[in-house]
Amino acid sequence: MNAKWIIKFAIVLAISSLTITAQAGTDDAALDAKTTAIIKRDFHDRGIAKADRVNQDELQATCSKYIDNLPDPLKAKLEAAQTKTIKWPSDGKYMGDWKAGEKLAQSGRGMTWSDKPDEPAGGNCYNCHRLSSMEIAYGTIGPSLLNFGKLRGNSVEVQRYVDGRIYNAKALNARANMPRFGFMGILTEAQIKDLVALLLDPESPVNK
Ligand code: HEC
């Protein structure tokens, strides 16, 4: 009797946990739909900040769907598509002025409704990275970039790598938690060159 009872109990338990999981799935989907509806209702175009920013593109929607379990083949497919978006410098030169790059790395300005369309945005790099040895206030979401050029050198391959990274970080890692500065129109080609120089110029405080 005991064995029978245990089997019955196990079956009931398995069925009820399946039901609970299925229920949670529906609740998640319903909650997602509700949240999206609230966001779409409450966000409006204002100045340069347009409400279409809340619409996820294919990469963002896929990452939201899989969260930490993005399957490798899908990740590779997304990265290939992101790589195609990179616009390399038209004159084939990657390095600009590191002094201008340092100012951009420090600046978190731009993209808000009160910013004017002709005002250049900043890169906000210090928010996530350590860069110059002189700056002691920095975030740690991204890896430290101190001595980046000293450690990696500044060959054309490395310059191109950094340029592509800043233009569209998701080309190299679809799950990278770094904004796509060129792709999203935050930074211009010339600004990205200044940042490449900040990381790679031997005279830059990143490498001195
Ligand atoms: C919101 C945080 C965030 C901001 C802002 C940010 N990054 Fe990043 N960055 C990251 C993260 C996270 C990584 C690691 C990504 C990965 O694992 O692929 C990264 C990686 C990098 C790398 C590659 C490092 C390596 O070891 O090869 C470079 C170069 C870089 N960032 C430069 C910049 C520059 C320049 C800026 C400013 C224009 C910037 N980042 C702004 C989060 C950020």
List, for residues 128-175, the tens digit of each pLDDT value.
Answer: 999 999 999 999 999 999 999 999 999 999 999 999 999 999 999 999
pLDDT band at 68 (very low <50, low <70, confident <90, very high): confident
Whether residue 79 is predicted with pLDDT greater than 90 in this model: the reply is yes
40 touches 54 (CB < 8 A): yes
State if residue 130 touches ligand 1 by the CB under 6 angstroms criterion: no
Whether residue 1 is predicted with pLDDT greater than 60 in this model: the reply is no
State if residue 165 touches ligand 1 by the CB under 6 angstroms criterion: yes
Q: Tell me which residue has tokens 């279409």.
A: 52
Name the residue with the closest Cα to ligand 1, atom 9. 142
Average pLDDT, the chain: 91
Q: What is the 178 CA–ligand 1 centroid distance (Å)? A: 5
Report the SS3 class of residue 77. Answer: helix
The percentage of the chain sitting over the pLDDT mark of 90, rounded to a whole number, equals: 80
User: In this predicted structure, what is the pLDDT of residue 161?
Assistant: 98
Q: What is the 2 CA–ligand 1 centroid distance (Å)? A: 60
Positions of CATH 1.10.760.10 in the chain: 98-200
Pick the CATH number of 98-200 from 1.10.760.10, 3.40.50.620, 3.40.50.300, 3.40.190.10: 1.10.760.10
CB atoms within 10 A of CB 99: 15
Sign, CA dihedral 53-163-188-86, equals negative
**What tokens appear for 87 in the block?**
């616009």
- pLDDT tens digits, one per residue of 7-56: 665 555 555 554 555 555 678 889 988 998 999 899 999 999 999 998 99
User: In this predicted structure, what is the pLDDT of residue 144?
Assistant: 98
Name the residue with higher pLDDT: 18 or 122.
Answer: 122
pLDDT band at 59 (very low <50, low <70, confident <90, very high): very high
Q: What is the maximum span of the chain, computed from C-alpha positions, in angstroms?
A: 83
Q: What is the 22 CA–ligand 1 centroid distance (Å)? A: 38
pTM of the model: 0.87
Q: What is the 177 CA–ligand 1 centroid distance (Å)? A: 8
**Among the listed ranges 50-54, 77-81, 142-146, 176-180, which one has the minimum average pLDDT value?**
50-54
User: In this predicted structure, what is the pLDDT of residue 29?
Assistant: 85
| Residue 200 CB contacts under 8 Å (≥ 6 apart), including other chains | 95, 148, 149, 152, 154, 158, 159, 162, 207
